[in-house]
Chains A and B, each alone.
Chain A
Amino acid sequence: AQSVSQHNHHVILSEAASLELGCNYSYGGTVNLFWYVQYPGQHLQLLLKYFSGDPLVKGIKGFEAEFIKSKFSFNLRKPSVQWSDTAEYFCAVEGNNAGNMLTFGGGTRLMVKP
């Protein structure tokens, strides 16, 4: 079975600080990896995804994530956060032989102070 761990449950940053949210997964085969974001009062939205090619993936709003296969990691980064980045962030993995559904991490609540 696959699993996803997000080690930071709550993160508080000031505007312009750099962000890195950790995501580690366990699955022995080929994976597709995702980050979703849920802004306050809104539904989950896809932030970025990786399924092949360049392991450094760029998403919307200046976010990027790097797939490091040897570390089973897919950490999310942003060089300079804004107050509007306050949201909950979910990492998810889809294993190619794991029934086509996504397994999500527990989420990280990010609060950016203006």
Chain B
Amino acid sequence: GAGVSQSPSNKVTEKGKDVELRCDPISGHTALYWYRQSLGQGLEFLIYFQGNSAPDKSGLPSDRFSAERTGGSVSTLTIQRTQQEDSAVYLCASSLERAGVAGYTFGSGTRLTVV
């Protein structure tokens, strides 16, 4: 597609429930990133996929968070047993190989509210 597409745009969930957030990157972009933006905070790196390589999961805050990328394209970020501190905007970005070539293209994000 023309841009990075994320769904849903807004999600309200009850504490303890599982949620899945979807990201559809720009066609042909081999790199895909998930970040989290909390109120008043910067962007916190979560996970990075590059082609068929093993993902860099070093930013995932706990084992309740996981992500997969199927067929080198669509990615799903799953948060199990959600907590109130998980409330944030979850941003997906994609790029051609290294970010330094052209920077990231960001999606509009999924605003997650855990009540």
Q: CB within 8 Å of B: which residues of A?
A: 4, 6, 32, 34, 36, 42-46, 49, 51, 90, 92, 94, 96, 99-107
Q: CB within 8 Å of A: which residues of B?
A: 31, 33, 35, 41-43, 45, 48, 50, 56, 58-59, 91, 93, 97-100, 103-109
Looking at the assembled complex, report how far the CB atom of A91 sits from the nearest CB atom of chain B, in whole angstroms: 9
User: Which residue from chain B places its CB closest to the CB of A105 in the assembled complex?
Assistant: B42
The residues of A that contact B43 with a CB separation of less than 8 Å are 90, 92, 104, 107
Contact B48 A94 (CB under 8 A): no
Looking at the assembled complex, report how far the CB atom of B52 sits from the nearest CB atom of chain A, in whole angstroms: 15
- Known contacts A44-B106, A90-B43: A100-B91 contact under CB 8 Å: no
- Known contacts A94-B98, A100-B31, A101-B48: A46-B41 contact under CB 8 Å: no
Looking at the assembled complex, report how far the CB atom of A8 sits from the nearest CB atom of chain B, in whole angstroms: 13
A68 to B37 Cα, complex, angstroms:
28
The residues of A that contact B41 with a CB separation of less than 8 Å are 106-107
A52 to B36 Cα, complex, angstroms:
29
Contact A32 B100 (CB under 8 A): yes
Looking at the assembled complex, report how far the CB atom of B66 sits from the nearest CB atom of chain A, in whole angstroms: 18
